[in-house]
Amino acid sequence: MNMVLLLTIILAAVVVANILARHITFIPLPFFLILMGGILAALPVYSGFELDPSTFALAIIAPMLFNEAQNSSRFWIGRSITNILSLAVGLVLVTVLVVGSGLHMAMTILPLTLCFALLAIVTPTDASAVNSIFEANPIAEEQAGILQHESLFNDAAGIVLFDLSLTAFISGTFSLELAVGMFLWEFLGGLLFGSLIGVAIVSARLFLIRYNDDTPIIMVLIQLMSPFLVYLLAEKLAFSGILAVVAAGLVQGSERDKLRLTSSRMQLVTSNVWEIVSGVLSGTVFVLLGLSLPEVITALHQSPNPDLNILKLVLIGIGVYFTKGILRLVWSRYMLKRRVKSSHEWRDSLVMALSGANGTITLSLAFSMPNTVNGQPFEFRGIMIFVAAVVILTSLIMPTVFVPQVLPSQDQKQPRYRWVKRMIQAAISDLLKEKEHPAEAQIVIDSLQQQLVLDSTPNLHLRRELMSESHQVELKAVRQMFDEGKISQDELTYYTRFLNLSNFSADEKTWKNVLLRIRFSLHVGRLYKDLNRAQEAFLTAPVVLEEVYWREQFEKHGENILPIEQAGFDAVMDFLKTKQNDNGVETNMVKRFYRTRHRRINGKDVDMNVVYQMFMRAFHSEYELIQESLETGKIDSALAEKLQSRISTDEMTYLQNMELFRD
């Protein structure tokens, strides 16, 4: 129970950090995650919190690498395999040997084998850590492909070298023949075993698809269990569990080529599930870093060298980062083969060097170090985790500051959000031409205008002001009808009461919703002496019930609410036209409220088949705009793909929520 509570709090910290990162964009997400972990460390419930290294490797490293592998492009791997292996194997090996030896000379207290282990930890890169920077400052396609797949393969190389170094330290002996044999057994054996298990899992999934057993509960669970199954089996056979997981993930990625469009819904569900799982795992790793910092700092006091204080370790970590960065810069300049010639080779190499950011895998390896060695506390564990943390933080700060300075700025003349607005406005313009089914078309128009609201950030205070002003405009129009003798005093009184209740519930706050439900259910129960009608009133949203209720009440007294509402509605629409240019988003929100009320109070039933046709017509208009813009060169294929993906998502959302448009 306690462990469940602790993990729940960590997940809540991941959520809070992601929210903060969305609003404070100049600070990378990992810093917020580490901060949240540091805050949690101060809570009494986390006193003495420890995570078993083997559990950490199984629960976090395995699924993260599996997902990374299954999303890798086999096309890019084949096209850039020489460069990928050069960075992922050659550079990793040279960095571990050269920088590790230099670290041992500068820090003699740390055995050479552990220096190699530390460099094996901080060498694997995490290209996703700086993806947000590259969105604003795009790099060449070839560089992006190399970075993405280098990150996958150097994880594997770093993990194997880490295992070898740690084994040599624990055993106290090193044999080149044994090391080579162990390397081949773990490396090649892990890859071969993972590939075989991956093929078996893919075959099983294809078999289930063939017999229509590819439901989400079956297929997603099989895929989520795959990395754990592969890892555990490989470790039992003394293969590298991590490499086996990577190989299985690569095989899993090939399944998409076989599926193509035969199981589109399943692929979308799987992709969304893995996106969430990967985000949660990545965030959890950084929260655990912040959570473990007090423990790591405490462990530093147990160091065999009391002069090795925090400041010296920070300087050592920064030194390790810059040393391996210089080596990476030179390697990128002279050892990589470029398909496309560039006149900025040093600049491109510097980008590659800065892009060698460390992230989740580095932290995962650091935390996977044992707490005890040969039955004794591992006194160097705190030192190594702390230095690794310094390298990670430095590697995140450097690209955040310097990559935007190195790369040319992206052309922001036609950002994606503008094209989303144009797309939606094109659909609205087309539907405004509909004369045969205006009510159904208006439902779709209101829904599209709501999308514009969500894509922008509405000013809720301004919306409340517009609602209040619209309320006063309608009251004025109704009073004018009374002054002109068009309605009676009773009609004015009861319609004013209706408007006050309508305005009260317009913002749909929870407490108002509950209060109105209770009020309506009690009133309806007393009025009709019918418990079922009172129950229905409580279960119906007040904004839906009000219009029907007041229309019935006017009819009971021989009066008609519709002409009064029509006059008020027209007055409000005329008023809101004057606000459209200044406050478009907020005005559309208010318009939608009044249009929905107007439709409900008139009791007009809409034809859902026609609504469906109107939605399809709107989506078709959006597709046409994208196609025309692509053909005329106004947008490129990358932007067109993102816009088209958005339309497809909107279509699926509509199909899954058709019932919502009946009210």
The string of DSSP letters for 415-435 reads -HHHHHHHHHHHHHHHHTT--
Yes or no: say if 629 and 577 are a contact pair by the CB < 8 Å rule. Answer: no
Res 412: pLDDT: 45
Yes or no: say if 399 and 127 are a contact pair by the CB < 8 Å rule. Answer: no
- Sequence letter at residue 366: A
As a three-state string, the secondary structure of 348-395 is HHHHHHHCCCCCHHHHHHHHCCCCEECCEECCCHHHHHHHHHHHHHHH
Calpha distance 424→422 (Å, rounded) = 6
Helix (H) or strand (E) holding 300: helix 264-300
Q: Quick one: tokens of 179?
A: 């090391």
Res 443: pLDDT: 79
Res 593: pLDDT: 80
SS3 636: coil
Yes or no: say if 446 and 394 are a contact pair by the CB < 8 Å rule. Answer: no
Q: How far does the chain reach from its first CA to its final CA, in angstroms?
A: 44
Helices (H) and strands (E) in the chain, counts: 29, 2
Instruction: Tell the burial category of 450 from Cβ atoms under 10 Å away from its Cβ (0-12, 13-18, 19+).
Output: middle
The string of DSSP letters for 49-74 reads ----HHHHIIIIIHHHHHHHHHTS-H
Report DSSP state, residue 659. Answer: G
Hey, how many other C-beta atoms are within 10 angstroms of the C-beta on 453?
A: 16
Among residues 345, 256, 269, 262, the alpha carbon closest in space to that of 75 is found at 256
Cα-only R_g, the chain: 31
Q: Quick one: tokens of 39?
A: 């805050």
Give the CATH architecture of domain 2-406. Answer: Up-down Bundle (1.20)
Count of residues in the chain: 663
Hey, how many other C-beta atoms are within 10 angstroms of the C-beta on 557?
A: 11
**Torsion region of 373: left, alpha or beta (phi above 0 gives left; psi -120 to 50 gives alpha):** beta
Res 414: pLDDT: 46
Largest Cα–Cα distance in the chain? Answer: 105
Yes or no: say if 132 and 377 are a contact pair by the CB < 8 Å rule. Answer: no
| Total-model pTM | 0.68
Calpha distance 13→32 (Å, rounded) = 9
Hey, how many other C-beta atoms are within 10 angstroms of the C-beta on 267?
A: 16
Hey, how many other C-beta atoms are within 10 angstroms of the C-beta on 100?
A: 24
Mean per-residue pLDDT pooled into runs of 10, the chain (663 residues) = 76 90 79 88 77 73 83 70 84 92 88 92 72 54 70 76 85 73 79 91 84 80 91 88 86 65 61 82 82 72 65 90 93 80 77 78 77 80 86 84 69 61 87 84 78 63 85 90 88 83 66 66 66 64 61 76 88 86 75 79 73 88 89 83 81 66 53
Calpha distance 225→69 (Å, rounded) = 15
SS3 130: helix
Q: Quick one: tokens of 218?
A: 């079956």
Calpha distance 310→657 (Å, rounded) = 56
Calpha distance 492→484 (Å, rounded) = 12
Yes or no: say if 445 and 431 are a contact pair by the CB < 8 Å rule. Answer: yes
Yes or no: say if 143 and 351 are a contact pair by the CB < 8 Å rule. Answer: yes
Token look-up 């893919």 returns 202
Cα separation values, 606 from 30, 540, 541, 593, 661, Å: 50, 19, 19, 17, 9
Report DSSP state, residue 28. Answer: -
Res 579: pLDDT: 79
Yes or no: say if 221 and 273 are a contact pair by the CB < 8 Å rule. Answer: no
Name the phi and psi angles at 377, rounded to 5: -55, 135
Contact partners, residue 321, CB within 8 Å, separation at least 6: 122, 390, 391, 394, 395, 398
Q: Quick one: tokens of 471?
A: 């309320």
Report DSSP state, residue 1. Answer: -
Domains of the chain, residue spans: 2-406, 411-437+607-663, 463-602
